């Protein structure tokens, strides 16, 4: 697991999450601060994080 820090695209607060290095994925998670949904895309090549992208979802 890799701990990764990023800013919420809604409230701009720093958030941390644990990323599973064994899988590339796109999923939706609510911000732990403002509770708005964020689409998160994570891609690894081997052990290296090569892409981490957040997108605002319309509510």
Q: Count of CB atoms within 10 A of residue 52's CB?
A: 15
pLDDT tens for each residue of 9-20: 999 999 999 999
Q: What is the mean pLDDT of the chain?
A: 94
Nearest Cα neighbor of 42 from 56, 33, 55 is 55
Closest CA to 6 of 57, 41, 52, 49: 52
Digit-coded pLDDT (tens) for 24-44: 999 999 999 999 999 999 999
């Amino acid at each position: 697991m890799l701990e990764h820090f990023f800013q919420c695209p809604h409230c701009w607060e720093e958030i941390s999450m644990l990323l599973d290095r064994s899988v590339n994925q796109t999923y939706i998670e609510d911000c732990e601060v403002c509770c708005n949904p964020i689409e998160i895309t994570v891609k690894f090549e081997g052990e290296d994080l090569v892409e981490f992208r957040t997108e605002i979802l319309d509510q």
